[in-house]
């Protein structure tokens, strides 16, 4: 394997990105990404708004990052980057596989160079994945296969350690599946909280840091699109109660509290935070009908609650 001449820039970018994720969370706005990072007294960019494959002019051989975008309503997506069974299918830029940008990814594959993947969650919002690697190219399909190393891991310079290629391939294949699961959950939370105006559906609590996207029915398809109609924006307290079947929601949106909780007497959290919502409707629902909880989902989940509420 050849030594990566662009490693110092890559290392600086990954360290800076880790700090941005630590400060801002798993989803970064384009404004945050566009601030770039510092390298030898200069400000370099992580990515480019108009280009999917990017490298700063100071990089000599390969790319720094790839990006997919969720287009604004009414516009077509530039790339079709649906995840495959082996990795993420990343379409080549343009029609010429030998084009300049695509050659940079081919070179990254030859170097086994770690890249950053800015995965579009919503227009202007991205979930960064690193390190990712170009593990193959399909000239017929005009796409690259992108696999993932351990999410957010510290990466080492090429040549600094020896690895069994077969074990490395298996590790990246397993890690890619786990990354897809995480991306699914990140996207699901983003969409659900947005639909509920960043508030708890039960108590309207407005702090995003303390809100979860709760599944009404389990969603085990790691490649499935996040479905807001199978979700509820719930604060930590009400999410815990919902998952433990201490709180149920009828198909008509009325909240019920398990009898074993109704029979208890304790402080204000129990009296006002849980029992106080018994018999009341949900405090907020999405504006768009298609994003509201599907009655058949609520019915199935409510039946599970009914089977345990009086025990």
Those residues whose C-beta lies under 8 Å from the C-beta of residue 76, and which sit 6 or more positions away, are none
State the chain's mean pLDDT as an integer. 86
Query: Could you tell me if 258 and 225 are in contact, meaning their C-beta atoms sit under 8 angstroms apart?
Result: no
Two tokens, residue 309: 């509420």
> Stretch 94-119: mean pLDDT, rounded?
92
What pLDDT score does 177 carry?
75
CA distance 309 to 311: 6
Assess contact for 249 and 302: CB atoms under 8 A: yes
The answer for residues whose C-beta is within 8 angstroms of residue 202's C-beta and 6 or more apart is 234, 235, 238, 247, 255, 277, 282, 283
Q: 28-32, 102-106, 187-191: which range is least confident on average?
A: 187-191
∠ Cα 206 209 211 (to 5°): 60
- The per-residue pLDDT for range 57-75, each reduced to its tens digit, is 999 999 999 999 875 654 4
- Write down the pLDDT at residue 222: 41
pLDDT band at 55 (very low <50, low <70, confident <90, very high): very high
Q: Is 135 helix (H, G, I), strand (E, B) or coil?
A: strand
Confidence of residue 77 (pLDDT cuts 50, 70, 90): very low
> 3-state DSSP call for residue 102?
helix
Residue 92 tokens, joined: 């080549």
**Cis amide bond preceding 244, omega within 30:** no
* 141, two tokens: 């399909």
| Residue 79: predicted pLDDT | 44
What is the pLDDT at residue 180? Answer: 79
Q: Which residue has the higher pLDDT, 261 or 183?
A: 261
| Contact assessment for residue 233 and residue 242, using Cβ atoms and an 8 Å cutoff | no
């Amino acid at each position: 394997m050849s030594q990566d001449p662009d490693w110092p820039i890559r290392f600086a970018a990954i360290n800076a990105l880790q700090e941005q994720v630590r400060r801002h969370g798993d989803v970064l706005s384009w404004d945050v990404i566009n601030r770039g990072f510092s390298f030898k007294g200069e400000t370099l960019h992580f990515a480019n708004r108009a280009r999917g494959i990017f490298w700063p002019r100071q990089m000599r051989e390969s790319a720094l990052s790839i990006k997919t975008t969720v287009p604004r309503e009414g516009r077509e997506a530039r790339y079709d980057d649906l995840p495959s069974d082996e990795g993420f299918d990343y379409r080549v830029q343009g029609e010429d596989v030998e084009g300049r940008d695509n050659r940079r990814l081919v070179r990254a594959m030859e170097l086994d160079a770690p890249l950053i993947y800015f995965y579009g969650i919503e227009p202007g919002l991205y979930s960064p994945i690193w390190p990712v690697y170009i593990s193959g190219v399909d000239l017929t399909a005009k796409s690259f296969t992108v696999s993932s190393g351990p999410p957010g891991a510290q990466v080492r310079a090429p040549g600094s350690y020896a690895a069994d290629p077969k074990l490395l391939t298996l590790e990246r294949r397993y890690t890619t599946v786990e990354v897809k699961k995480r991306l699914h959950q990140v996207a699901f939370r983003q969409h659900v909280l947005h639909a509920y105006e960043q508030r708890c559906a039960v108590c309207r609590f407005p702090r995003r840091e303390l809100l979860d996207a709760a599944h009404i029915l389990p969603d085990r398809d790691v490649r499935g699109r996040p479905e807001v109609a199978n979700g509820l924006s719930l604060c930590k307290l009400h999410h815990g109660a919902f998952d433990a079947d201490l709180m149920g929601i009828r198909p008509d949106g009325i909240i019920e509290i398990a009898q074993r909780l109704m029979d208890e007497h304790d402080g204000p959290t129990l009296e006002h935070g849980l029992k106080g919502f018994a018999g009341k409707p949900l405090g907020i629902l999405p504006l768009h009908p298609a994003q509201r909880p599907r009655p058949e989902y609520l019915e199935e989940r409510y039946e599970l609650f009914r089977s345990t509420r009086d025990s």
